[in-house]
Amino acid sequence: MRIGVFVCHCGNNIKATVDVALLAERVREGFLWGASSVSPSVSPSVSPSASPSVTSVVFSADYMYLCAEGGQKMITDAITEHGLEGVVVCACSPRMHEATFRKAAQRAGLNPYKLEIANIREQCSWVHADKKAATDKALSLAKAAIAKVKLAKPLFPGENTVEKRALVIGGGIAGIQAALDIAEAGFAVDLVEKTPSIGGKMAQLDKTFPTLDCSACILTPKMVEAASHENITLHTYSEVEKVEGFVGSFTAVIRKKARGVNIKKCTGCGDCLAACPMKKIPNEFESGMANRTAIYIPFAQAVPNVPVIDRNHCAYFKNGKCKRCEGACQPKAIDFSQEDELIAERYGVIVAATGYEPIALDAFGEYGYHDNKDVITSLEFERLTNASGPTGGKLLRPSDGRVPKRVTFIQCVGSRDATARGKPYCSKVCCMYTAKHAILIKEKHPETDVEVFYIDVRTPGKSFEEFYRRAVEAYGVRYIKGQVGKVIGENGSLRIQAMDMLENGRYDSVTDLVVLAAAVEPSADTKKIARMLAAPADVNGFLSEAHPKLRPVESATAGVFLCGMANGPKDIPETVAQASAAACKAIGILMKDKLVTNPCTAKADEDLCNGCGLCVGVCPYGAISSEGGAFPRVVCVNSALCQGCGGCAAACPSGAMDLQGFSHRQITAEVDALCL
């Protein structure tokens, strides 16, 4: 085989640590003539012509940026001029530019899967300081890649059709934006939300930073637009129970929970709510600071504006008596006989926008959250200042209904926490919404004293620093760098015991209201959704992107896209931007009639397969199935589902399962090249 080796400088990323000219010369010398004492030539170095029978490196060169147009042209020209049958590129990680180099090879008439990348940047130059050691290691990696490409066989991708429909899981602002963008492109969208109304956490907010515009004024029109869009079907009070299939052809089963109310008949008059005798159920939308009835509408602007019966608290479902709401309903929309409905639908793409929750504060007893009504979370504070909230927008202490004369905010409650109690990451939005809360207090009650305990103030967004400075300089909010050790109830007030790190001393004060900026975490359903979609999650439970820089809204599972806080902490503008990006990626698939599949998938040798089925259980993507009812049976790989992870090949006891493009022979040849 005639092989060409191309070594990239990557600016100084590789060249500063690896002698790229020497590497290009050594691979040519070592594989064409054996050990040689010839001194390295100037770059680019090209070998003398070799006969076609020599199965070795016949061309080698180094170049500043191989991924650039000039570098790609060098590769295509060399393939044509020297009749190359295999190519090795010594450069950065395959995750960065493997597709780039494969396309270049294909343009020159070489099968793209006869190109191999030796990662001499991340695995070599970035982890070594000694130039000789780094160059020696780079040579070893190049030798292994050459050994592998010698055994490469031409591979050809397959095709599968695309279902022109999208599934969006989660009805917050991220899910709504993604659904609207996909629907505007002309494709059908099913938007699934587990609560009775779309809107998510943004519906609970009063104002948004840094502009202090009304949250509902921004969100409500989008909610109405989503509900009325001809291409969007809302499935509220519903959950995705099962997902099967692959990109272009997913099948999802959606459970539409019984509302107990006929949506088509209901007029939203509210007579049933007034008739319900069960009136002391904590209202989830009001963060438990107000009560609701057993039949309820989550909030005034809910979409759909149709009640739902809470069967856990409804007297009829508990003891078979009552039905007062049914008697009060003039359109006869109440239907106690409703049962859950299962809907199965096919989709080409899936967008996960499952949102977030504030962490539980059970482990933070020092703040007295469960012991004192006047210690609240930031989300509860949002409802206190919201005109549609339990106090009509008036800032009143929950304990006695008085306007607080001093309010204390405590930042990073559970965020940046190295202990097992909280989360190790920054929740990103807390610094800004605390500044927002402080400004709102000072605007309504200028006489109220506001203090903020913080570790560090982080304001990375557009106009964020100016917003924070405005709170300090224009409104006189006092920021105290330090951590609160304890909050103690004392004679109807709260005593704060803390450390002031700038003053290097203890801080002791009395306050009327304490607001805790609790850390955020993925919603409880995110882990379940991740398993169904075979989408990996990180150590903190957020859905992981395929590549943090180049594929930030794509999951490792083809056809599954991520947006909003399902992927990590972010504010509303960033969430909306990511939702539109996910929608754009989804539209790119939906516009195609057929998709090209990756040929680097597992393949079973039927002559060697003993039908044990170990590979079936190992496969995380459900791509392997058994064929044949009686023993001996063999396994079959669905190439559209297979992601080429190689788990089945490692588990197969008979050696029947192999991975195309990464065969046993190729891996063994790489190991031999490294060891010899």
Q: DSSP secondary structure string, 141-168?
A: HHHHHHHHHHT-------EEE--SEEEE
- Better-predicted residue by pLDDT, 1 or 407: 407
User: Mean pLDDT throughout 460-465?
Assistant: 92
Who's near 194: CB < 8 A, 6+ residues apart?
237, 238, 239, 525
CA 93, 95, 100 angle in degrees (round to 5)? 95
Q: What is the pLDDT of residue 631?
A: 54
pLDDT at 276 > cutoff 90: yes
Instruction: Give 30's pLDDT tier (boundaries 50, 70, 90).
Output: low
Q: What is the pLDDT of residue 159?
A: 86
Across the chain, mean pLDDT equals 91
Q: What is the pLDDT of residue 185?
A: 97
pLDDT in tens, 487-507: 999 889 999 999 999 988 899
Taking the C-alpha atoms of residue 12 and residue 324, their distance in angstroms, rounded to an integer, is: 77
pLDDT at 248 > cutoff 70: yes
Q: What is the pLDDT of residue 494?
A: 96
Q: What is the pLDDT of residue 629?
A: 53
| Of the listed ranges 18-27, 40-49, 158-167, 208-217, the one predicted with least confidence | 40-49
pLDDT at 78 > cutoff 90: yes
**CA torsion sign, 419 to 420 to 421 to 427?**
positive
pLDDT in tens, 199-219: 999 999 999 999 999 999 999
Who's near 521: CB < 8 A, 6+ residues apart?
356, 357, 358, 359, 423, 540, 541
Cα separation values, 130 from 120, 244, 363, 427, 599, Å:
14, 50, 48, 39, 39
CA diameter of the chain: 99
pLDDT at 435 > cutoff 70: yes
Taking the C-alpha atoms of residue 649 and residue 637, their distance in angstroms, rounded to an integer, is: 12
Instruction: Give 638's pLDDT tier (boundaries 50, 70, 90).
Output: confident
User: Mean pLDDT throughout 138-144?
Assistant: 94
Share of the chain above pLDDT 90, in %: 82
User: Mean pLDDT throughout 408-420?
Assistant: 93
Entry pTM = 0.83
| Of the listed ranges 59-73, 111-125, 594-608, the one predicted with least confidence | 594-608
pLDDT in tens, 167-197: 999 999 999 999 999 999 999 999 999 999 9
Q: What is the pLDDT of residue 446?
A: 95
**Domains of the chain with CATH codes:** 2-150 (3.40.50), 165-256+344-355+523-590 (3.50.50.60), 271-328 (no CATH), 358-520 (3.50.50.60), 598-660 (3.30.70.20)
Share of the chain above pLDDT 70, in %: 95
pLDDT at 92 > cutoff 50: yes
Cα separation values, 200 from 215, 289, 417, 488, Å:
12, 18, 26, 34
Q: What is the pLDDT of residue 628?
A: 60
Quick check: 233 and 189 in contact, CB under 8 A? yes
Written as six digits, the tokens of 362 are: 């059970």
Place of tokens 């020297």: 82
User: H or E element: which one contains 178?
Assistant: helix 173-184
User: Mean pLDDT throughout 60-82?
Assistant: 95
